[in-house]
Chains A and B, each alone.
Chain A
Amino acid sequence: MIEVRDLWKSFGPNQVLKGITLTVPKGQTYVVLGGSGSGKTVLLKHVIGLFKPDRGSVTVNGVEISGLTGKALNEARHVFGMVFQGAALFDSMTVFENVAFPIREKQRSVKLEEVRQKVVEKLKVVDLGEEVLERYPSELSGGMRKRVGLARALVSDPQVVLYDEPTTGLDPITTDYVDGMIIAAKQKLAVTSIVISHDIASAFRVADRLAVLYDGHLAAEGTPEEVKASPDPYVQHFLSMWFAKQ
């Protein structure tokens, strides 16, 4: 379970988060919706300890991540996998080296053949074949990079997966595919997920619970139906942009 309590964060004079509180139950998918620059990624980076809050706390499976540093923080991060907005693949490494990176670093004694098997298996899950193993990220399309990033996040079988804009910039078919992946990870692997997105259709497809972030606070929070029925004017305006198209 992930608990965020009264989280505040500013960068210089810019107050980005203003007392965020939310709970993600174990095995569920929690989507944080919001416009560009609303602080969604900042919130996500607090969950994995990449940012330290000015005030408040983040607790993951009973461990207060926000209070940890150095080796203890690294230990705590072993439960996570993270998919970055731009995939964040290491551009000096091949696809194989990228996906194998978490296994090789966490379990340095694992044999190369075992690592290779696991990498191929995870790439297969994201619909990529062995032909991409020796390619560099610069030789892949945006969608392929995103899928490799997803494979890398899942390769060490994490308990918690954090998705930062997983469907941004993808075509509708690949978006649908990625949504399916997030749902499958929850159903088959009992993974707890936090998805940061501004893709409303995708959010309502994958979410067990949903929140709308606006001006540093949660304008609405609850099940997808509860959020849809929220009386908050910003939430209604934000959601109407998509529902009006349907």
Chain B
Amino acid sequence: MSRLRAALDDFGQMIFFFFETLAWAVRPPFRLELVLAQMAFIGAGSVFIVGVTGTFTGMVMALQMNYALKQFAAEGYVGGSVAFSLARELAPVFTGLMVTGRAGSAIATELGTMRVTEQIDAMESMAVSPIQYLVVPRVLAAVIMFPMLTMLFNALGAAGSWLMAIGVAGIPEGPYIEHMRGFVDPSDVMHGLYKSLLFGLAVSLITCWRGYAASGGAKGVGEGTTRAVVASSIGILIMDYAMTVLSVGV
């Protein structure tokens, strides 16, 4: 019972933290340089890992789809089904999980270390809001960069799929492209991008909160980072399910 109460208390504090972040986001001074630095870290810094994951996901999906659809002599649908899966599910979810592992853990560790070494207290003592200085730029950067990385995942996933389907499986290019166009609507891509935007918001808030609320030295920072990554990953999966249900029904 006490653990449940502690968990609810923690969740309540995170919600309060979220509203505090919103309030500081619209107050001057606006520190564009900090947002750009975080966009470079979260976005540009994740291009390699997201690109590799996207390419291989597309390649594997194409081979698997080809294997399954060949049973029905429907190999021409490989491009469409892979692109559809990428746009609505795989790109936002995999991007969210990969960026959580790379940038989210780093955010939690950095803020956690700043907390336990009193750097956050020092900032507050200098009349600078740590939420405005440290949290807002990270949240804004994540909300902007997650959809961009998702688009990168989509593009490289489609390229990987094309390579395998045309180059390896020998599917004719005409039906491949034709079915891809027919299957994937711009609204499917937008659906994935809305998801990734929400994932960016959630991951950045959870990881910032876990770092911001860290205590107890190196052990506390480590625990905070672990909890941040686990909570973000589970959060992504739950939100993905919820948005899918809202979009297409059960």
Contact = CB atoms under 8 A, between A and B. Distances in A.
B118 A85 contact: yes
A237 to B, nearest CB: 30
Most buried by B among A75, A81, A102, A108: A102
Contacts of A102: 126-127
A105 B127 contact: yes
B125 A82 contact: yes
Contacts of A89: 119, 122
A37 to B, nearest CB: 15
B129 interface: yes
A101 interface: yes
Nearest to A82: B125
Contacts of B125: 48, 50, 77, 80-82, 162
A48 B124 CA distance: 9
A4 to B, nearest CB: 17
B126 A101 contact: yes
Interface in A44-95: 45, 48, 50, 71, 74-75, 77-78, 80-82, 84-86, 88-92
Nearest to B122: A88
Nearest to B125: A82
Contact of A86 (B118, B123, B124): B118
Contact of B127 (A45, A77, A88, A90): A77
B10 interface: no
Interface size class of A (residues with CB under 8 A): 20 to 34
Given A86-B117, A88-B117, A106 B122 contact: no
B69 interface: no
Contacts of B182: none
Contacts of A74: 127-129
A215 to B, nearest CB: 24
B127 A78 contact: yes
A78 B29 CA distance: 16
Nearest to B116: A86
B185 interface: no
Interface in A86-128: 86, 88-92, 101-102, 105-106, 108
Contacts of B114: 90
Contacts of A101: 126, 128
Contacts of B122: 82, 84, 88-90
Contacts of A71: 27
A90 B118 CA distance: 9
Contact of B124 (A50, A81, A92, A106): A50
B126 A88 contact: no
Interface string A145-183: 000000000001000001000000000000000000000
Contacts of A48: 124-125
B7 to A, nearest CB: 17
Contact of A88 (B27, B29, B118): B118
Nearest to A90: B119
B5 to A, nearest CB: 13
Contacts of A156: 126
Contacts of B126: 77, 82, 101-102, 105-106, 156
Interface string B113-149: 1100111011111111100000000000000000000
Nearest to B129: A74
Contacts of A75: 127
A74 B122 CA distance: 12
7 contacts: A84-B121, A84-B122, A86-B118, A89-B119, A91-B119, A92-B110, A106-B127
CB-based closest 10 A-B pairs: A88-B122, A88-B118, A77-B127, A82-B125, A74-B127, A102-B126, A84-B118, A105-B128, A88-B119, A48-B125
Interface of A: 45, 48, 50, 71, 74-75, 77-78, 80-82, 84-86, 88-92, 101-102, 105-106, 108, 156, 162
Interface of B: 27, 29, 110, 113-114, 117-119, 121-129
Given A84-B122, A105-B126, A156-B126, 16 more contacts: A45-B121, A48-B125, A50-B124, A71-B27, A74-B127, A75-B127, A77-B126, A82-B126, A84-B118, A85-B118, A86-B118, A88-B119, A89-B119, A89-B122, A102-B127, A108-B29
